[in-house]
Amino acid sequence: SAVISQKPSRDICQRGTSLTIQCQVDSQVTMMFWYRQQPGQSLTLIATANQGSEATYESGFVIDKFPISRPNLTFSTLTVSNMSPEDSSIYLCSVELSYNEQFFGPGTRLTVL
């Protein structure tokens, strides 16, 4: 496995502001992913982030709302822009270490007031 960290671990934000979540892994990985998990729900993939290319977004998620950076093979950021209470959720990054095996960071718990 790998050691994956996320910052911040939790935050409370005001409506209309933006929050950038960082994901750091202790080894170089090609594929990183960003998920959202709303209370009591399963995981929904937001986007796939490959180093050196634009992130690929899933249906229902757009770059203007969730811009992603992937500057190198160990780091990625997800920004949640112009937040509303509906964005309150847990945001998780994951990395693929072997064939389709994904390992998750500890998550960022976001509350939007």
The contact set with other proteins (CB under 8 A) reads 1, 31, 33, 41-43, 45, 48, 92, 96, 99-107
Report the nearest approach of other proteins to the CB of residue 34 (Å).
12
Q: Which is nearer to other proteins, 31 or 81 (CB)?
A: 31
To the nearest whole angstrom, how small is the minimum distance from the Cβ of residue 20 to other proteins? 19
Instruction: Encode burial over 75-102: b for 16+ CB neighbours within 10 A, e otherwise.
Output: ebbbebbebeeebbbbbbbbbebeeeeb
**Closer CB to other proteins, residue 43 or residue 81?**
43
Query: Which distant-in-sequence residues (6+ apart) come within 8 Å of 24 by Cβ?
Result: 4, 5, 6, 7, 74, 75
Report the residue number, 67 or 107, with the smaller CB distance to other proteins.
107
Adjacent-strand bridge partners of 80: 19
Please state the closest distance from residue 43 (CB atom) to other proteins, in A: 5
